[in-house]
Amino acid sequence: MNALRSARLKPIAAALFAASLAPLATPAHAVTADATPPGYNANCNCYRNVAYGTTTWYEPTTRKYAKQVMDIWMPANITRAEGAPIVYYGHPNGVGNYIAMDTAPGSLWSRLVKPLTDRGYIVVSYEFRHPVVNYVAGNPVPRYDIQKAINFFTNNYASTLVADPANSFIAGQSRGAGLGLLTALTGAFTGSTKVQGIWTYQAQTSFNCNEMAKTYVIQSDRDAFLSQCVQVDGAGSSLQSVSPSSPPVVTRYERAFHKVLVPASEVDVHYPDFGWQLCKRYGVQGLSAQCSPVENVSDADAWIGMADYFDQHVQPAM
C-alpha cells in the first residue's frame, strides 16, 4: 500500500466511531403532583436536565463529563384523547442533548423541535453513551442508554404528561442516528411503547468491524480496514437486526451512494452506503417500501419532511 493510502487510513478508527414562543405562566398541559418531571421552564414549555439514570462519564468527544439526563419539549396543546405521540431525538458526536430555544430559521430548535411540537408531538432529547467511544474494558458495552431513557420516560412521566407511548418515534443524527436506529430495531421496551417510525441523518448501521469490511470494502483493502477499525464485541449491528416486524425508516446522507465496494479509506463515519445497505436488508425481509434511503441531503435539509412522515405513521388507539 502506498504512503498516501496509508496516511488516509489512519483516521478510520477515530472517524468511524468518534460523527419564537411566548412565555407561559404555567405548563400548557395537565400535571399531577406525584409524577411531574423536575426542571420545568415556562419560557420554552420544556423540562431541562431530567435524570433518567445515575451514570456519569467522561465524554472524549466533548471533553466534558456527561450524565444520563434528558430534556422534554411539550406541545402547546394535546388534542388527541390518547395523548401526544413522542419523538425521541439523539444528537451527533461533539455536542450534547441541550437544544437552545433559538427562533432563528436555521437553528436546530426551528428545524426539528418546533415543527414537531407544532403538530402536537412531545420531543425528548437525551444524553447517552456510545458503545465504542465510551467502552471501558471489563465493563458491559454501554449501548442501552437510549432504551433506558425511553423506558424511564414511559414508566415515570408518560401518564402525567398525557403522552402516548404506543406512538413513539425515533430520530437522530450520526451517533444519535445509529444508536437510535439500533434501539428501535432491538429495544426491549416497557409498558405500551411501540416505535412506529424512524428518521435518521448520517446513521451508522453497524458497529461490527468484520461485517463492515465484508459489506463495504474491496477485498484487497479489508486487512487494512480491520487494522484501523475498533472492534467492540456486543456493540451491535442494525444490519443484522432487521426483521419482518421492523418499523419503517427514512435514512438520509449528505453524499451520493456508491452501491459498490470501495477502498477502505472511503468508509468514514458518515459513509452513505450504510443506509443503502440497510434498505437492502429491509428488502430481503419483504419490506422494501418500509425503508427509504436518501442521498445528497444537506444538514440544513436533514429534518425537512420528518413531521409529515411521522404523521403518516401515527396509529389510532386500539
What tens digit of pLDDT does each residue of 52-99 get? 999 999 999 899 999 999 999 999 998 888 999 999 999 999 999 999
Can you read off the three cell numbers belonging to residue 293?
434511503
CA distance 202 to 52: 26
CA distance 105 to 115: 11
Can you read off the three cell numbers belonging to residue 136?
471501558
Q: Could you tell me if 269 and 207 are in contact, meaning their C-beta atoms sit under 8 angstroms apart?
A: no
Strands (E), the chain: 40-41, 46-59, 64-73, 84-90, 122-126, 163-173, 195-201, 249-252, 291-294
Check residue 75 and report its DSSP letter: P
- How confident is the prediction for the chain on average, in pLDDT? 90
pLDDT on residue 35? 77
Query: What is the distance between the terminal CA atoms of the chain, rounded to a whole angstrom?
Result: 60
Q: Which of 79, 173, 91 minimizes the C-alpha distance to 124?
A: 91
What tens digit of pLDDT does each residue of 1-25 get? 333 333 334 344 444 444 322 233 3
Q: Cα separations (Å) of 84 from 71, 77, 195?
A: 16, 9, 14
Model-level pTM? 0.90
